[in-house]
Chain A
Amino acid sequence: MKIDIRSENGTAVAKLSGEIDHHNAKELRTQLDRYIISAQPREMAIDLASITFMDSSGIGLIMGRSKLMKECGGRLEVRNTQPYIKRVLKLSGIERIVKIT
Chain B
Amino acid sequence: MEVINSIKFVMPALSVNESSARAVVSSFMIQSDPTVEELADIRTAVSEAVTNAVVHAYRGTYGSIELTVKLLRGREIYIRVKDKGCGIADVEQAMEPLFTTAPEEERSGLGFSVMQSFMDKLAVKSVPGKGTTVTMRKRLAEHGN
Whether A56 lies near B114 (C-beta < 8 A) is yes
The residue that B51 contacts in the complex, of A29, A57, A84, A91, with Cβ under 8 A, is A57
Q: How large is the interface on B (under 10, 10 to 19, 20 to 34, 35 or more residues)?
A: 20 to 34
Q: Which B residues touch A23, using CB under 8 A?
A: 15-16, 18-19
Given contacts A88-B44, A91-B114, contact A56 B108 (CB under 8 A): yes
- Identity of the chain A residue whose Cβ is nearest the Cβ of B52 in the assembled complex: A22
> Quick check: is A35 within 8 A (CB to CB) of the other chain?
no
The residue that A21 contacts in the complex, of B18, B98, B108, B113, with Cβ under 8 A, is B18
Nearest chain B CB to A62 CB, angstrom units: 9
A64 to B19, CA, bound (A): 23
Whether B108 lies near A22 (C-beta < 8 A) is no
Q: How many residues of A contact B (CB 8 A)?
A: 20
Q: Which B residues touch A88, using CB under 8 A?
A: 44, 114
Nearest chain A CB to B35 CB, angstrom units: 11
A22 to B47, CA, bound (A): 9
Whether B37 lies near A22 (C-beta < 8 A) is no
- Identity of the chain B residue whose Cβ is nearest the Cβ of A19 in the assembled complex: B19
Query: What are some 16 contacts across the A-B interface (CB < 8 A)?
Result: A22-B15, A23-B16, A25-B106, A29-B106, A53-B44, A55-B111, A55-B114, A56-B113, A56-B114, A57-B106, A60-B107, A84-B40, A87-B118, A91-B117, A92-B108, A92-B110
A residues sitting closer than 8 Å to B (CB atoms) are 19, 21-23, 25, 29, 53, 55-57, 59-61, 63-64, 84, 87-88, 91-92
B residues sitting closer than 8 Å to A (CB atoms) are 15-16, 18-19, 22, 37, 40, 43-44, 47-48, 51, 54-55, 97-98, 105-108, 110-111, 113-114, 117-118
